[in-house]
Amino acid sequence: MTQFKVATLASDVPQSLSHYSKRLQQLLMVRGITDADLVQQFLNPDYETQTHDPFLLNDMKVAVERILKAVKNNEKIGIFSDYDCDGIPGAVILFDFFTAIGHANFINYIPHRHYDGFGLSVSAVKELAKKEVNLIITIDCGTVDFEAVEEANKLGIDVIITDHHEPKEKLPQAVAVVNPKIGNTYPFDGLCGAAVVFKLTQALIEKGGFDISEGQEKWWLDMVGIATIADMVPLLDENRTLAHYGLTVLKKTRRPGLQKLFYKQKIQPQYLSEDDIGFTIGPRINAASRMDTPEDAFRLLTTKDESEAGQTLEHLEHLNNERKAAVGVMTKELHKRMKDMDVPDVIVTGDSSWRPSLVGLAANKLAEEYDRPVFLWGRDGNGVHKGSCRSNGKVSLINIMEATKDVFIEFGGHHASGGFSVIDEEIFSLSDKLVSAYQELGEAALVVEPIQVDLELSIEEIDRELLTAQKQISPFGTDNPKPVYLINNILPKEVVLFGKTKEHTKITFDTNGLVNEAIAFFKLPSDWSKEPKLGQKLSLLCHLEESYFMGRLQTRLRIIDVV
């Protein structure tokens, strides 16, 4: 049975909320946003007043001076970015900046996920040295890449690190390390990597005296918005402003690649939301690196050529389908294995032929299906056993890995998901050790985090006012989750399966309210705490959403659980 708790609202509405609609009052109060100034900032993000001075970031002044020197002397700059949906948009921002100011002597270098792994590597530095690079600028990595920076120093290459990951006690000997988590001068430490790069371009424009249009950098906020939402940084403070304006720019995007993607996926730009980043844009950017060609995602976002944009999109769609097929084959093999074994408390399995970049997607499906933590591993291009783990929401993965840390080369993550690499001689004992750790930890392995319900209401009470209030507190993401509603006493009129293989569920019902159907993708009626049946009243834990498909607006519920 899914655990949940319904928010308790104060009976007296604060004066600061009195002139807002009742539904908006409730949603703001649940989030603890009642101070008049905070309410105003939350509901009306302002780019000019709610973003911070880029020069407050650690080492920003030094970084700007070194880059301006490189531009003045026409030095060759190497832009080294991570391969994910934060690093690649960040690389696009710096590409757009150097293109706009007319500095053509630069190259973009995106590492190969399977062979190079995460971060600035010694091999990448050597490769950039061969290309006669004088200055390396990292994006979304570098804060802990000591050996690579040391190698660059030996080769006479300066390094500027822009990153947002946690630093260690010491920093690499780079020219500058621009990171909001270093020092205490920047008011907000939650920026993503692409946002840090955007702050760098703001600072460069301020000091560089470049002949570019005033405010041109605001067109690059589309990349900041994608990365801020996709990288799951907290959507508070400056990030809320950047995500808000990022979505605004995305709706007006001038990028042919995104225009063609929206057209192909039948996304109407004026209705674009954070869900479109999570389910359409982000997966295609990530699919490129998962399937070996991160440059394709970068090219889609940077090209100005309509023909190249179309061809690149077709290739990315092909890669995304290949990724789905590969995960499908992997999942089928895993189901076969599960049938031939007594399923343990912790599912741990893998195959040396599997790509570590894909196992997390399969682990997520298994964790849901078998309602227990799942650890899956493959082997990367350097022969290292690497994997991903996913929780069922009840067990802390990080607690289990801490209890068995001697078997790992490295591991990280949080309660719900994580990644790891395993010492070769421990790979076949990994299952026994993780299961034993789970059993020995007992209650210490568990995480009790009930779902927070924003509002409990009847189906008739879902109206246009609620939908409008929900839109006002978007975009949703980390630390500003999409509202959850508990809707009681629903009498199903129809419970049907849909999709090519009947893997999705729809429940319809009669109502005088705004919605008359609830759906769930990749869920069957038997998967919920209570199986919905005709003639039996039920309660839904759900989200409220608007879907624009084939030119038609549809308001519906997205089921979390039937209780």
First and final CA of the chain: distance in angstroms?
A: 7
**What's residue 549's pLDDT?**
65
Residues in the chain predicted with pLDDT less than 50, given as ranges, are none
Closest CA to 361 of 383, 334, 341, 397: 334
Place of tokens 């624009």: 548
- pLDDT of the residue at 7: 84
Enumerate the CATH 3.10.310.30 domain ranges in the chain, comma separated. Answer: 341-445
pLDDT of residue 291: 83
Query: What residues have CB less than 8 Å from 223, skipping those under 6 apart?
Result: 89, 90, 92, 93, 194, 198, 246, 301
What is the structure's pLDDT at 85?
Answer: 94
**How many residues make up the chain in this entry?**
563
**CATH for the 4-44+451-562 domain, from 3.30.43.10, 3.40.50.150, 2.40.50.140, 2.40.50.460:** 2.40.50.460
In the chain, CATH 2.40.50.460 covers 4-44+451-562
- The answer to whether the beta carbons of residues 193 and 140 sit under 8 Å apart is yes
Q: What are phi and psi of 37, to 5 degrees?
A: -65, -40
Report helix, strand or coil for 225: helix
Inter-CA distances, 409 with 178, 295, 357, Å: 28, 29, 17
CATH class held by domain 54-218: alpha beta
CA proximity to 560, closest of 460, 451, 417, 473: 451
CATH number assigned to the domain covering 341-445: 3.10.310.30
Q: What is the 3-state secondary structure (H, E, C) of 262-278?
A: HHHCCCCHHHCCHHHHH
- For the chain, where do the domains classified as CATH 3.90.1640.30 start and end? 54-218
Model pLDDT, residue 151: 98
Locus of tokens 């042919």: 256
Strand bridging mode 385-390 / 408-413: unpaired
pLDDT digits (tens, 9 = 90+) for 45-95: 999 999 999 999 999 999 999 999 999 999 999 999 999 999 999 999 999
Got the DSSP string for 139-202? ES--TT-HHHHHHHHHTT-EEEEE--SPP-SS----SEEE-TTSSS-SS-----HHHHHHHHHH
Contacts of 447 (CB under 8 A, 6+ apart): 391, 393, 394, 395, 396, 415
